[in-house]
């Protein structure tokens, strides 16, 4: 498997996705620093670079980055909303400069839902034109989807529609929302609870397996994808003892990530998958650990599935020794976990606000948990019958 680094070229974007985890920061990258970051990936033995943002296709550094990566023998990918690549001439220029693969962010096959999520009228139409251009350009494409309240009930319909209309797309990625320190704090109603997407995600994975396609899911605890635990991005990193590098255009800067752990709850202490599971992202800040449940199956078959072979005794021993391991930075204290849970025990919205302040969380109305009935009513209001391609 190729080792890929991520490089943010810009944080600007024409769209304003309600859950955007990388909104504009005012931090910019110049060409000299772009080159230094690509050089660093080469020195670390990486095979390629994924250009991301914001929307990298609107950055003035796009073509210099593609050209320099090719000069340095790195292949280039791009995470994109597809707007600029709807223009065949622009798409061709990217390919000629070195672009080999795109990850297109499609959040719903329903035009009105996708445009509502992205806050850009016409975003869906431009994205479809981008996907239609892919075969002619001679590149490959994946689909990236951020799981949110407005699409969590039809993830399986999304993949079926994509496979039927764009059969050359063979890989899908779901990212559960990152609700911390970004635009989701302005739009807490878009944050789903895990049980809201579990059934649709399972059906989507089932369908893709039946068609021979591949997929990954990130920030989804393994108890919410038990049958497909081998497809968890974090679990795969843990099992294969991999790393990843990301250059952020914010206070985080260059991140060399070697640990893949989020928060772990009481259920994780009894779970046999604990050694290979990253846990719950934003636990006791946005998400409630009581959504977690233990798995009592042997994790060895999952490890073998990820590796494509039986694990060596040494590797298996190292992995199982991770049981009970907790993140030094992401694991919330017992006190914070208890205060967060008490806030949801019938004490009302004001108690949740106070609990968040008490544990040092940001003041987000409802901690991202609008009442489920509100989610369903709003979803029903915008989720009209699917738009099919003419």
CATH code assigned at 50? 3.20.20.70
Identify whether 18 is part of a domain. yes
Identify whether 358 is part of a domain. no
Identify whether 297 is part of a domain. no
Beta strands in 44-170 (DSSP E): 48-52, 75-80, 99-105, 140-147
Q: What distance in Å separates the CA atoms of residue 101 and residue 74, rounded to the nearest whole number?
A: 12
Identify whether 326 is part of a domain. no
Backbone angles phi, psi at 209, to 5 degrees: -60, -40
Q: Is the pLDDT of residue 250 over 50?
A: yes
Q: Is the pLDDT of residue 385 over 90?
A: no
Q: For the residues 234-256, what does the mean pLDDT come to?
A: 96
Identify whether 235 is part of a domain. yes
Phi-psi region of 73 (alpha: psi -120 to 50; beta: other; left: phi over 0): left
Q: For the residues 41-62, what does the mean pLDDT come to?
A: 97
**Burial (Cβ within 10 Å: 0-12, 13-18, ≥19) of residue 289:** buried
Tell whether pTM > 0.95.
no
Whether 184 contacts 177, CB under 8 Å: yes
Residues 280-290: tens digit of each pLDDT:
999 999 999 99
Total residue length of the chain: 390
Identify whether 190 is part of a domain. yes
Show the domain range for 23.
Answer: 4-262
Say how many domains are in the chain: 1
Confidence of residue 346 (pLDDT cuts 50, 70, 90): low
Identify whether 359 is part of a domain. no
Identify whether 285 is part of a domain. no
């Amino acid at each position: 498997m190729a080792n890929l680094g991520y490089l943010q070229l810009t944080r600007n974007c024409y769209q304003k996705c309600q859950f955007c985890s990388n909104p504009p920061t005012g931090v910019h990258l110049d060409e000299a620093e772009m080159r230094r970051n690509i050089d660093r990936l080469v020195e670390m033995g990486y095979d390629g670079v994924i250009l991301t943002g914001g929307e990298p296709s609107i950055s003035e550094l796009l073509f210099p980055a593609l050209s320099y990566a090719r000069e340095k023998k790195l292949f280039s990918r791009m995470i994109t909303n597809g707007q600029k690549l709807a223009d065949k001439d622009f798409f061709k220029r990217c390919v000629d400069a070195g672009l080999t693969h795109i990850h297109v962010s499609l959040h719903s096959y329903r035009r009105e839902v996708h445009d509502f999520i992205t806050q850009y009228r016409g975003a869906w139409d431009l994205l479809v034109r981008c996907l239609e251009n892919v075969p002619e350009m001679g590149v490959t494409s994946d689909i990236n989807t951020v799981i949110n309240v407005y699409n969590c009930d039809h993830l399986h319909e999304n993949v079926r529609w994509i496979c039927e209309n764009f059969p050359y797309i063979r890989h899908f990625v779901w990212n559960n929302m990152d609700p911390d320190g970004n635009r989701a704090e302005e739009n807490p109603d878009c944050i789903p609870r895990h049980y809201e997407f579990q059934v649709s995600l399972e059906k989507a994975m089932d369908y893709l397996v039946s068609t021979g396609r591949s997929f990954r899911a990130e920030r989804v605890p393994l108890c919410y994808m038990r049958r497909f635990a081998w497809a968890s991005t974090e679990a795969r990193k843990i099992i294969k003892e991999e790393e990843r590098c990301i250059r952020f255009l914010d206070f985080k800067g260059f991140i060399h990530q070697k640990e893949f752990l989020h928060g772990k709850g009481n259920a994780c202490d009894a779970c046999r998958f604990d050694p290979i599971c990253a846990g719950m992202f934003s636990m006791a800040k946005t998400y409630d650990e009581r959504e977690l449940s233990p798995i009592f199956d042997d994790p060895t078959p999952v490890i073998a599935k990820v590796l494509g072979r039986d694990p060596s005794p040494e590797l298996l021993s190292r992995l199982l020794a991770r049981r009970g391991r907790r993140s030094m930075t992401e694991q919330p204290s017992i006190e914070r976990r208890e205060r967060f849970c008490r806030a949801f025990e019938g004490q009302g919205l004001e108690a949740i606000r106070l609990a968040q302040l008490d544990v040092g969380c940001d003041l987000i109305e409802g901690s991202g948990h609008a009442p489920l009935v509100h989610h369903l009513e709003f979803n029903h209001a915008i989720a009209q019958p699917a738009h099919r391609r003419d």
